[in-house]
Structure 1
Amino acid sequence: MTEPTLHFTPCNDAAGGHRMAWWQWGNPASPHLVMCVHGLTRQGRDFDELVKALLLRADGNVRVVCPDVVGRGASDWLRDPNEYQLPTYAGDMLALLAQLQSEHPIATFDYVGTSMGGLIGMVLAGNRELPLPAPIRRLVLNDVGPVINPEAIQRISAYVGQSGRFASVADAAAAMWSISTTFGPHTPAQWMELSRHMVVPASQRSADGRAKVAPEAGVEDHAFLLHYDPAIGTPLRALTPEGIAQSEAIMWSLFDGITAQTLLLRGAVSDLVSPATAQAMTQRGPRAKLVEFEGIGHAPTLVAPDQHDAVISFLLSP
């Protein structure tokens, strides 16, 4: 399968519900599920290169699902921006897992999460009372941990929601690169491939935040928008030092409850996960295996062969 198929799952919220989009690769009947969840402003197609390499190594005998977390990509936008938080995201993943389980039973469940996606993974893996169809067997945390440096929060808060309008996909890609150089070196082709799924023609996004399948007849696209709700940064900008400290305590408790084999990936110059936090994660809870990538900050995109090979070798090892 060279391209994924797009699906939707209905999810609950206080305002009457929303749809979460997700991309499916591989063998939908495989009992081995790998879920890949993206970072704060990204979307599920970020994992294309990783998934293609994984399917090649696994002879296609794995089911890979990459959600667009609500407010991003082809998913709906929330009516209340204050709900763009981990409890909502984790609840949506449980709804998705229940749907996947009803379609084809899950025997082996692995999880890959970048940044925000990793935090969602810690919630799912660390809370043993959640109704997972199968325990998370192997967990990949891509440049994220229980402690997030306040300076990184400030840096990210400064650009989240500053979506703007762009005359072309190339213009949007250039604007995104200006705030994404911490991702590390990428060829122009690699960056364009990552960027093209991050924008949508203005005619394909309705006023209520629903992504349209196709542009309206007779409407020409003269502008492109970033493919996420500008309001996703609202809870982030509302964080206080007290709130951050409370969140860290909760996340450490969840991390300590993880029983899955855990791989921690870190950009060696990451401003989000400090060396001290990374070392602590190797010594407590699941005692994560740490792999660092030189010359990379927050966060490795898993496009480069050495990056996706580290993930695939971990997931497919006996």
Structure 2
Amino acid sequence: MEYRLHRYRSACGRLDLAARDYPAAEAGAPVLLMMHGLTRNSADFEPLARHLAGRYRLVVPDQRGRGLSQWDPDPAQYRPDVYAQDMLALLGGLGIARACLVGTSMGGLMAMVMNALRPGLASGFVFNDIGPVLDPAGLARIQGYVGPGGAMASWKEAAARCRAINAVAFPDFGGGDWLAFARRTCRENPEGTVSFDYDPAISRSMDGDALPTVPPDLWPLWDLLGAAPVLVVRGALSDLLGMETVREMARRHSGPYAHVEVPRVGHAPILDELPALAAISAFLKEYVS
């Protein structure tokens, strides 16, 4: 899959940021803005992009402190409202006035913030294993692995580290799956070692109370989605998004709403699983195409 690497300035004007821009086969095709989770980067959407590229224009950013985007010297700026402003700067620079917002975990929180900042921007929302209530068990698990860690000697070791962290979410993964996961999550250093592809300082946003930079009550942001079409993807083994929250999301939403559960997967689905792909394709065809 070919894409253009787009460089742009952060909303604050201090940082150089990067995004993948996958072109659509036809001019004027709908745009999907695909936003990754806390410790991931644009490569996280490669499996889904393989299925959607060409039919849609895919804009897939590295948030500040991840991938090819510059690390922020002020760790206090690693928070969803700041990322959301960066996303508005990205879309504005590309001349995109409307897009479907696809958010995995933290990316879904960003989508809700973006909607509050710019009502009418989103043609629809795809929330991947995230909602207005964050289960404390999942937050505690994430807090347990985010942050400083030593470099790994090889890609084989990186795959083993990824498995140790995420095996509870992907119990059916084999060796090849974990290597592919590591390739999307880590980077190779000039000396040949391998490191996770994010600034370890992002962990400071989770110090103390869980995710202190996220409002304690996210339901008002959810309610602001109004009648916009929504698809919620949940891993059946998720420890961050509970089914009670999913049901309440459906009850409170006034527009089209769909929910799909991915069996034998936790937080968060890769989005190349057959149930997720079928639901996303149907949702985009009906509401975004």
Q: Displacement, 1:18?
A: 0.6
Provide closer, same or farther for how the CA distance between residues 309 and 188 of structure 1 changes in structure 2, counting only shifts above 3 A: farther
| CA distances 1:279-312 after superposition (whole Å, capped 9, x unpaired) | 1001003463221122221111112233222212
| CA distances 1:18-42 after superposition (whole Å, capped 9, x unpaired) | 1221111133853411111111101
| CA distances 1:75-127 after superposition (whole Å, capped 9, x unpaired) | 111111111111110010010010111xxx54x511111000011011122x1
> After superposition, where does 1:10-89 map in structure 2 within 5 Å?
10-13=9-12, 17-27=14-24, 29-55=27-53, 60-89=54-83
Residue number in structure 2 paired with 1:119 = 109
Q: Displacement, 1:254?
A: 0.9
Residue identity matched to 1:263: L
Q: % of aligned pairs identical? A: 34
Distance 1:162 1:286 in 2: 43
Residue number in structure 2 paired with 1:231 = 201
Q: CA RMSD for the aligned pairs?
A: 2.2
Cα pair 1:90 1:123 within 8 Å, conserved: yes
Pick from 130, 134, 149 the counterpart of residue 148 of structure 1: 134
Distance 1:284 1:33 in 2: 27
Pick from 213, 234, 237 the counterpart of residue 269 of structure 1: 237
Provide closer, same or farther for how the CA distance between residues 61 and 53 of structure 1 changes in structure 2, counting only shifts above 3 A: closer
Residue number in structure 2 paired with 1:215 = none
Q: Displacement, 1:228?
A: 0.4
Q: Displacement, 1:198?
A: 2.1
Provide closer, same or farther for how the CA distance between residues 154 and 50 of structure 1 changes in structure 2, counting only shifts above 3 A: same
Cα pair 2:262 2:273 within 8 Å, conserved: no
Pick from 133, 138, 162 the counterpart of residue 124 of structure 2: 138
> After superposition, where does 1:198-209 map in structure 2 within 5 Å?
198-203=185-190
Unaligned runs of 5+ in 2: none
Aligned residues: 283
Cα pair 1:114 1:299 within 8 Å, conserved: yes
> Structure 1-normalised TM-score?
0.82
Unaligned runs of 5+ in 1: 204-220
Distance 2:125 2:237 in 1: 22
User: Which has the larger Rg?
Assistant: 1
Q: Displacement, 1:187?
A: 4.0
Does structure 1 residue 91 correspond to structure 2 residue 85? yes
Provide closer, same or farther for how the CA distance between residues 234 and 202 of structure 1 changes in structure 2, counting only shifts above 3 A: same
> Structure 2-normalised TM-score?
0.90
